[in-house]
Homo-oligomer: A and B are copies of this chain.
Amino acid sequence: MYKHKIAIVGATGAVGTVFLKMMEDRKYPSVLLRVFASKKSLGKKLSYLGKHLIVEELNDDSFIGSDFVFISATTSISESIADLAVKSGAIVIDDSSAFRLSEGVPLVIPEINSEDLLNHKGIVSIPNCSTTPLAMVLGCLAQLSRPLRVVTDTYQSVSGTGSAAVSELLNQSKSVTEGAEISKNVYAHQIAFNLFPHIDELQPNGYTKEEMKMALETKKILHRPDLEISATCVRVPVLVSHSQSVHIEFDNKIKVDDAIDVLNNFSGIKVLDDVSKNVYPTPIDAEGKDDVFVGRIRSDNYRSNILALWVVTDNLRKGAALNALQIADYMSQMKLHV
């Protein structure tokens, strides 16, 4: 049985915390070697399998002896430390957008394109948390017909921004219910009982960077540079789990029953679809679960080659930590690490 050694950078963040918890829950064969975080968390004790891990500061020797370094911090941290990790003999599994679209860096969802890992050069990226569920669903449904064009609008939780945003939503919600003034630190607009179509920076084409991540990353993962994806990414007052409404145009007619069949038989996807019994995925039900949940599956009311569906995923799990762990598993199994 494989037994890899993992270091985590950003261990106290929203994704890092889930990564640690998932390793514990899975009684994972890996060894958690070291945990790193920003200055304000140095010396903090993190509980792991009954022991304490001390949060360390990064230095030149930090990654020696690690098989994998999982980085979930900021893009600039990833840019500044990835090389050091590779030079130390580790494989970087990176959660930032720093390398996702770089030539020679596999961008991987193991259920979809694990074969891309064979050509890694030390750095592997995981997709953005709003990309992974979409690429899973498209990759699965491509068994039935070639997807040509996707329109998707998202409902993304604040944990995608990080722990500070989770606190901001809770604090603002409390203030509103108590009739008190709210304070804003993380977002430009109030997020409690509000929402806004603005995630990451505006690009020259009028889409935001988050919306373009969904388009460009999905093309790379599916090896489909011709696939059209138009997204609107919206931040909503939900703590965990990203939802999205998806409209997919295929090359051929798709039957709803066939779609349900392939989705249900695909590893990592689960169909929840019985509206008359109030059954469909919701963010709260998806929280803490590993699957990409799909519901509201229907033929477009005018075009039989368009499918509309509703997709919800725990953005911290399959959207980040779980996908990274699955990559480490696969690479150990295939002896792809150094």
Contacts and interface: CB of A to CB of B under 8 A. Distances in A.
B153 A196 contact: no
Given A215-B301, A298-B205, A284 B155 contact: no
Contacts of A189: 278, 282, 284
A48 interface: no
A43 interface: no
A39 to B, nearest CB: 29
Interface residues of A, number: 60
A1 interface: no
A310 B236 CA distance: 14
Most B CB atoms within 10 A — which of A155, A197, A295?
A: A197
B275 A195 contact: no
B310 A197 contact: yes
Interface in A159-179: 169-170, 173-174, 176-178
Nearest to A239: B193
A207 B298 contact: yes
Interface in A170-209: 170, 173-174, 176-178, 188-190, 192-198, 201-202, 205-208
Interface in A121-168: 149, 151, 153, 155
A256 interface: yes
A276 interface: yes
Interface string A299-337: 111110010101000000000000000000000000000
Contacts of A196: 280, 282
A237 interface: yes
Contact of A230 (B153, B234, B308): B308
A17 interface: no
A245 interface: yes
A228 interface: yes
Contact of A298 (B198, B201, B206, B276): B206
A110 interface: no
A173 B174 CA distance: 8
A206 B190 CA distance: 35
Given A155-B236, A173-B193, 7 more contacts: A195-B282, A205-B298, A206-B256, A232-B245, A232-B296, A232-B310, A237-B238
Interface of A: 149, 151, 153, 155, 169-170, 173-174, 176-178, 188-190, 192-198, 201-202, 205-208, 212, 215, 228, 230, 232, 234, 236-239, 243, 245, 247, 256, 275-276, 278, 280, 282-284, 295-303, 306, 308, 310
Closest 4 CB pairs of A and B: A206-B298, A153-B153, A153-B245, A188-B278
5 contacts: A153-B153, A198-B275, A215-B301, A230-B301, A230-B308
